[in-house]
Amino acid sequence: MSDTAEKPKEIMFAQACNMALAKAMADDPKVILMGEDIADEQGGGVFKVTLGLSERFGTDRVRSTPISEQAIVGAAVGSAMVGYKPVAEIMLMNFITVAMDQIVNHAAKLRFMSGGQTTVPLTIRTTTGAGTGLGGQHSDMLEAWLAHVPGLKVVAASNPADAYGLLYSSIMDPNPVIFIENTPGYFVKGPAPAPDHVVPLGKASVPREGTDITLIGYGSSISRCHGAADNLAKDGISCEIVDLRTIAPFDEETVLKSVAKTRAAVVVHEAVRNFGVGAEISSRIHEELFSELKAPVGRVGSGYAPVPFSPAIEKAWMFNQDDVEREVHKILG
Amino acid sequence: MSGLGAAFSRLTPYNNSGGPGRWRYEVCKESVPFRGPQCKGAKPLANSDMADKDVLVDIFTRADLIMQSDIKFRQMIGAGQLQIVYYPVRGQEVVSSAMMAAVNKEDYLVTIYRGLHDQLAKGIPSKDLWAEFAGKMAGTCKGKGGPMHITHPETGVMVTTGIVGSGIPIANGLALASQLDKDGKVTVCCFGDGATNIGAFHEGLNMAQIWKLPVIFLCQNNLYSEHTPMAFATSSDSIKQRGEGLGMRSVQVNGNDASAMYAAAKEAVEYARAGHGPTLIEAMTFRFHGHLLGDTSHYIPKEEMEQAKKDDPMPVLRQQLLDLQVSESDIAAIEAKNAAIIEEASQFALDAPYPPGDEYRIDVLDVEIAA
């Protein structure tokens, strides 16, 4: 799974992440990886995202760690301050809760509190997402917590090519970046990126142009936005899709430009709707474009509950394509 | 030698049925360091253990600067000239001075909010440090860090954290970089006894030990975590035991004894530089003031405090210099020079301008924040 292998036309999301890590490590000897079980001897990561990397780059640079999230992030912070570009893997996003002190009080603030004397160019890769039947403590989308902290960048890719380009940019970025992967999405295939494909942080994409309404999402929500847009087109509704790619700081310019054109918007994310990223984006749109909107900005998110275990309830809890379509119809009347 | 051990009494329950909060204080009677469970492993002082004269002069010079700075800070805050939160370090001068005398300027330091002694001992220029404490633009961190968040990479001071114990995992990262770069640097990580009760201590020491990182965990055990005595909140008899439990080379030392502390520090530094890995040093010490300025230390028994002040490490160290034939006038010259440095630094801190309000937009990310 290294980038020296023959490139298939389509690759899986997990493969794209592996290729980006390999490229970053090959390009810069200061890129090091640490996390639980990530070296080949321990299996190359529970989702095999780091498979082959320790064999290629050695266990000095691809370090399996104890189950110690604070120690992992702390070691990443310290080494980042003195010239390294560490990529810490927090196996599942819920485990970030254990390391929040290191992330929020240290990674995010050391540049500021030192008056710019020290910087923390680290990347924390983590994965999460419902639909896997892992229940309440392995599936949460917690991006809003992190996006709320000044000093952190938060990134979520919606397809393999973007994952490749965004992860590479995250590693090379001089700021601490949280890179959120989607567990059920690891095995979704998409067009393979060119080896030098780089996606800049802070820039949204517009994968589908339309005229009636803008669907704004990121990560796993984008495929459902596409599905909804296809269905809505049958009803004569033309949807534009904005894929944020970087959640914080978000590309306000691209979002406002699109909504100024369509004059209607729905923000879609998997995280619970309450106090989510959708609230911030919706509010910004209202502040800037209130008088031009056809209707208030809609929000689609998951239910106000922990992620349930039973497939029947998990499905009911999680937002889906129908919710998006319903919201669009509500807004456009 | 002096009765340095008396203050470091082991706290035991009144009786077997005594619940938390009911403790009596067993004050060490003999003038040998660390009686009782905490005394195990501490070397008794003897003249043959005395550090070189030059080393002790160096340690005294640092420690006196710290003592005078602490006094001046308390005076100025008391007089209303400075309105800042301040964690007094009086009583702990020798621990950090002896530690920092054993490392180089290039070596890294991670410390905590009660860090003035560590920062001065490591060599941050007084003017820069005072200005930061006062929140001024000329400070080490442009006034954006303040007393609890001092950084000064030029002298190796990489992180000062306000979160108890959280510097430990970061110190590992600095040490990891040194290990990978083979640059020969060691990282010193200072914290108090209370920090050994947070998870990061156990995670951090475990990782440092399995990776054999060149890091020294310097626990400055002053027996109180904020207002809580060690025995009330700490399950083990010593911090050293905790290091041993994690498989780490661990020593307990009378941190208030410059020679003993320096010897322990030097040994740990050599051990780390040789690639053998980390050391936990439990340096017994005491603080003569409350957790923060204004705290009356009501929770410290009067006799314990009195004994500690009788054992003040500063006059002891000064006397040691005299015993080694350092002249009174040479010592006075050191003290006068330190006084002048502090006078200049404190005046500089008062006179220097505050940062402009807009400064908050800078250094959040690598680009200026728009609004």
Distance (Å, rounded) from C-alpha A87 to C-alpha A53?
13
- Residue B212 touches partner A, C-beta closer than 8 Å: no
Residue A138 annotated as catalytic: yes
What is the b/e burial string over B305-332, where b = at least 16 CB atoms within 10 angstroms of the residue's CB? bebbeebbbbebbbebbeeeebeeeebe
Q: Is there a contact between B161 and A105 if contact means CB atoms under 8 Å apart? A: yes
Chain B residues touching residue A63 (CB < 8 angstroms): 211
Distance (Å, rounded) from C-alpha B339 to C-alpha B332?
10
Distance (Å, rounded) from C-alpha B140 to C-alpha B158?
11
Residue A106 annotated as catalytic: no
Dihedral (Cα; B231, B234, B239, B245), 10-degree rounding: 130
Distance (Å, rounded) from C-alpha B172 to C-alpha B170?
5
pLDDT mean values, one per 10 residues, chain B (371 residues) = 37 33 31 34 49 96 98 96 95 98 98 98 98 98 97 98 97 98 98 97 98 98 94 93 97 96 97 98 95 90 92 96 96 98 98 97 90 62
Q: What is the DSSP string of A228-297?
A: HHHHHHHTT--EEEEE-SEEES--HHHHHHHHHHHS-EEEEEEEESTTSHHHHHHHHHHHHHGGG-SSPP
- In chain B, residues 313-352 whose CB comes closer than 8 Å to chain A: none
Question: Radius of gyration of chain A from Cα atoms?
Answer: 20
Task: Identify the CA nearest to A199 among candidates A48, A31, A32, A20.
Answer: A20
pLDDT at residue B31, rounded to an integer = 33
Distance (Å, rounded) from C-alpha B35 to C-alpha B318?
25
Q: For an interface test with A, give the residue of B140, B152, B176 to mutate (most A CBs within 10 A).
A: B176
- Residue A246 touches partner B, C-beta closer than 8 Å: no
Distance (Å, rounded) from C-alpha A79 to C-alpha A82?
5
pLDDT at residue B3, rounded to an integer = 34
Catalytic residue selected from A36, A106, A138, A314: A138
CA dist list (Å): A153 to A194, A236, B54, B121, B360:
25, 38, 50, 36, 18
Chain B residues touching residue A176 (CB < 8 angstroms): none
- Residue A250 touches partner B, C-beta closer than 8 Å: no
- Residue B151 touches partner A, C-beta closer than 8 Å: yes
Q: Is there a contact between B363 and A112 if contact means CB atoms under 8 Å apart? A: yes
pLDDT at residue B51, rounded to an integer = 86
Residue A51 C-alpha from the chain's centroid = 21
pLDDT at residue B294, rounded to an integer = 85
pLDDT at residue A8, rounded to an integer = 57
pLDDT at residue B370, rounded to an integer = 72
Torsion sign over Cα A70, A72, A74, A77? negative
State the DSSP code for B198: S
pLDDT at residue B32, rounded to an integer = 34
Written as tens digits, the pLDDT of chain A (333 aa) is 555 556 558 999 999 999 999 999 999 999 999 999 999 999 999 999 999 999 999 999 999 999 999 999 999 999 999 999 999 999 999 999 999 999 999 999 999 999 999 999 999 999 999 998 999 999 999 999 999 999 999 999 999 999 999 999 999 999 999 999 999 999 999 999 999 999 999 999 999 999 999 999 999 999 999 999 999 999 999 999 999 999 999 999 999 999 999 999 999 999 999 999 999 999 999 999 999 999 999 999 999 999 999 999 999 999 999 999 999 999 998
Residue with tokens 């709707």: A273
- Residue B176 touches partner A, C-beta closer than 8 Å: yes
The CA distance from A14 to the nearest CA of chain B, in Å, is 27
Q: Is there a contact between B362 and A116 if contact means CB atoms under 8 Å apart? A: yes
Distance (Å, rounded) from C-alpha B201 to C-alpha B191?
10
pLDDT at residue B316, rounded to an integer = 95
Residue B109, beta-bridge partner list: B157, B188
pLDDT at residue B13, rounded to an integer = 34
Token output for B279: 């050391």
pLDDT at residue B371, rounded to an integer = 62
Q: Is there a contact between A101 and B163 if contact means CB atoms under 8 Å apart? A: yes
CA dist list (Å): B132 to A107, A174, A266, B138, B164:
21, 25, 47, 7, 21
Token output for B231: 């025995």
- Prior bond of A249 cis (ω within 30°): yes
State the DSSP code for B44: P
Q: Is there a contact between B176 and A79 if contact means CB atoms under 8 Å apart? A: yes
pTM: 0.92
The CA distance from B201 to the nearest CA of chain A, in Å, is 9
Task: Identify the CA nearest to B149 among candidates B113, B192, B194.
Answer: B113
